[in-house]
Amino acid sequence: MKEYQFKEGFLWGGACSAVQCEGRSPEDGKQDNIWDQWYREDPGAFYQGVGPEVTSDFYHNYEQLIKMMRECGITSFRTSLQWARIISDRDGTVNRKGIGFYHRVIDALLDNGIEPILCLNHFDMPMYWMEKGGFECRETVDAFAAFARVCYGEFSGKVRRWVTFNEPVITPEQGYLYLHHYPLVQDGRRAAQVAYYIQLASSMAVEAYRQMGCSGQIGIVLNLTPTYCRNPEDERDRKAAYAADLFFNRSFLDPSVKGEYPADLVRILEENQAVPVHMEQELETIRRNTVDYLGVNYYHPRRVVHRSRPLESGTFMPDRYFEYYTPENCRMNKSRGWEIYEKGLYDIGVNIRDHYGNIPWMVTENGMGVQDEEQFLNEEGMVEDGYRVEFIKDHLRWLHKAIEEGCNCFGYHMWCPFDSWSWSNAYKNRYGFIRIDINDHARPSFKRSAAWFRRVSDGNRFTD
Ligand code: BGP
């Protein structure tokens, strides 16, 4: 039996986001965001027509869920502050009721011995800014920095760890290239502009944090998806992986940690006439305001090969430089359609250690979404999710090895401690230690994995 010991103070916890757990709950004056709008326009785009109306009902049920999270061993919890709940309009009017809700949540977390980690943006653009172009519009960037200032002013006395954006690449990628997020646009040049303005918004939020003299730490959460090519001996495949890495990892990793964009990414954008509108002064803001730490969301690797024939596309798409492939016999999470490759976490750690100054980082999301978990209910009505324990252990072994080899990882968060709403996948896949019956929100229940995670968290260790 092997024991894996983690250092004292290692963060064990979980993450969710405002839109995915709170429910729309507009009674306090929350304004619509892109998810409310998209659902109104096209409910059929969401699995079984389930929209963001109720989600995990955290808005009403946060006290119970927070208590239950602590029982699962969650000692730190990241959620996001919903821009449209805190700021009511383009004039920046602050909604005191929205602020009051987040104060109550933070207090409840602290009362239960859970460290709150707050994220300023998790895919939730308010409609009043989307109407102006969202992050294609420079004014939205200033408005985001102003929103960040309001949040620091309110909460930084109680909250020591902050995040500017969760997975910033997702908005340009899924909203402006691959048609999975609102506004469902496919245009490489617009995607590049959105990506640049999101990076600028993140850097300006870091700048504001420092200007206001906040004493905690501010980071960014990236879905660093390690890219592997089919044949490392084939130079064309290596180049394909290099390009995919530039687009999907380094486009935010380099400016956030090193303060500058990779020259090869800029060159590709130039070749495709896709360089965003920018100003020298903005690049200086990005240069000066790098993050204190990184959050890493890891679910699956990216597997690429060189293109066998040119991409037919009217617009510039990153896929011009690579194709995806699925290796034979790879392990899959069939519910989600994602490959399971635990070593990816180790490779991420080594990359950060060797190429990004070994900046402190934590795993901000990892987890296994499983469909139809009802089939695993035992006689007592508990989900027997041994597969989730195995999934976590498999990842923690590699994380432990990375740390033993000098990687600067200080925590591990599960997505998500309780079942939550997964965007257009709605409640299809369940991730939690805590089961939520969407027909009976008032009675969340523990799954088998909850007690196991509690033991890991209490002892900072697990055994094989
Ligand atoms: C991450 C997001 C989360 C969450 C998670 C699980 O990329 O930050 O918001 O949703 O993925 O993925 P999904 O919900 O698509 O199953």
Rounded Cα distance between 259 and 262, Å, is: 10
What's the confidence (pLDDT) of residue 464? 87
Nearest atom (ligand 1) to Cα of 429? 16
What's the confidence (pLDDT) of residue 29? 97
Mean pLDDT of 357-362: 98
Quick one: how far is CA 441 from the chain centroid? 24
CA of 277 to the centre of ligand 1 (A): 30
Residue 313 has pLDDT above 90, yes or no: no
**β-sheet bridge partners, residue 113:** none
The span from the first CA to the last CA of the chain, in angstroms, equals 6
Residue of 154, 282, 365, 373 with catalytic role: 365
Residue 441 has pLDDT above 90, yes or no: no
CA of 75 to the centre of ligand 1 (A): 21
Share of the chain above pLDDT 70, in %: 100
Mean pLDDT of 437-441: 87
Rounded Cα distance between 35 and 243, Å, is: 31
Rounded Cα distance between 344 and 224, Å, is: 9
- For a pocket test of ligand 1, which of 180, 365, 391 has the largest count of ligand atoms closer than 8 A to its C-beta? 365
What's the confidence (pLDDT) of residue 262? 98
- For a pocket test of ligand 1, which of 423, 428, 429, 430 has the largest count of ligand atoms closer than 8 A to its C-beta? 423
- Measured over the CA atoms of residue 155, residue 161, residue 163 and residue 166, the dihedral's sign is negative
Query: What are the angstrom distances between the C-alpha of 245 and each of 4, 52, 235, 253, 355?
Result: 31, 32, 15, 10, 14
Rounded Cα distance between 306 and 267, Å, is: 19
Quick one: how far is CA 414 from the chain centroid? 11
Atom 16 (ligand 1): residue with closest C-alpha?
Answer: 422
CA of 252 to the centre of ligand 1 (A): 18
Using an 8 Å Cβ cutoff, are 94 and 154 in contact?
no
Atom 10 (ligand 1): residue with closest C-alpha?
Answer: 422
Nearest atom (ligand 1) to Cα of 423? 14
Mean pLDDT of 404-419: 98
Mean pLDDT of 399-410: 98
CA of 318 to the centre of ligand 1 (A): 22
Rounded Cα distance between 297 and 104, Å, is: 27
What's the confidence (pLDDT) of residue 439? 87
Atom 12 (ligand 1): residue with closest C-alpha?
Answer: 422
Atom 15 (ligand 1): residue with closest C-alpha?
Answer: 422
CA of 298 to the centre of ligand 1 (A): 10
What's the confidence (pLDDT) of residue 267? 98
Nearest atom (ligand 1) to Cα of 422? 14
Residue 209 has pLDDT above 90, yes or no: yes
Query: What are the angstrom distances between the C-alpha of 216 and each of 107, 399, 413?
Result: 17, 25, 19
What's the confidence (pLDDT) of residue 310? 87
What's the confidence (pLDDT) of residue 442? 81
What's the confidence (pLDDT) of residue 314? 84
Q: Which protein residues touch ligand 1 with a CB less than 6 Å away?
A: 17, 20, 166-167, 223, 297, 336, 365, 369, 415, 422-423, 425, 429
Residue of 154, 167, 173, 373 with catalytic role: 167
Examine the residue annotation and report whether 131 is marked as an active-site residue of this protein: no
Angle at 420 between CA 342 and CA 224, to 5 degrees: 35
Mean pLDDT of 293-311: 96
Indicate the pLDDT class of residue 1, thresholds 50, 70 and 90: confident
Share of the chain above pLDDT 90, in %: 97
Atom 2 (ligand 1): residue with closest C-alpha?
Answer: 167
Indicate the pLDDT class of residue 157, thresholds 50, 70 and 90: very high
What's the confidence (pLDDT) of residue 195? 98
- Contacts with 286 (C-beta within 8 Å, 6 or more apart), sequence order: 199, 200, 203, 255, 259, 260
What's the confidence (pLDDT) of residue 440? 86
What confidence tens digit (pLDDT) does each residue in 375-404 have? 999 999 999 999 999 999 999 999 999 999
Average pLDDT, the chain: 97
CA of 422 to the centre of ligand 1 (A): 6
What confidence tens digit (pLDDT) does each residue in 6-18 have? 999 999 999 999 9
As to burial, measured by CB atoms within 10 angstroms (0-12 exposed, 13-18 middle, 19+ buried), residue 3 is exposed
Nearest atom (ligand 1) to Cα of 17? 9
Using an 8 Å Cβ cutoff, are 230 and 237 in contact?
yes
**Whether the predicted model's global pTM rises above the 0.95 cut:** yes
Nearest atom (ligand 1) to Cα of 336? 16
Rounded Cα distance between 166 and 145, Å, is: 15
Indicate the pLDDT class of residue 135, thresholds 50, 70 and 90: very high
Indicate the pLDDT class of residue 112, thresholds 50, 70 and 90: very high
CA of 421 to the centre of ligand 1 (A): 9
What confidence tens digit (pLDDT) does each residue in 447-457 have? 999 999 999 99
Indicate the pLDDT class of residue 41, thresholds 50, 70 and 90: very high
Helices 188-211, 280-288: crossing angle, 10 deg rounding: 50
Token code pair at residue 462: 């697990």
Rounded Cα distance between 297 and 226, Å, is: 11
Examine the residue annotation and report whether 27 is marked as an active-site residue of this protein: no
Mean pLDDT of 244-255: 98
Indicate the pLDDT class of residue 275, thresholds 50, 70 and 90: very high
Atom 13 (ligand 1): residue with closest C-alpha?
Answer: 422
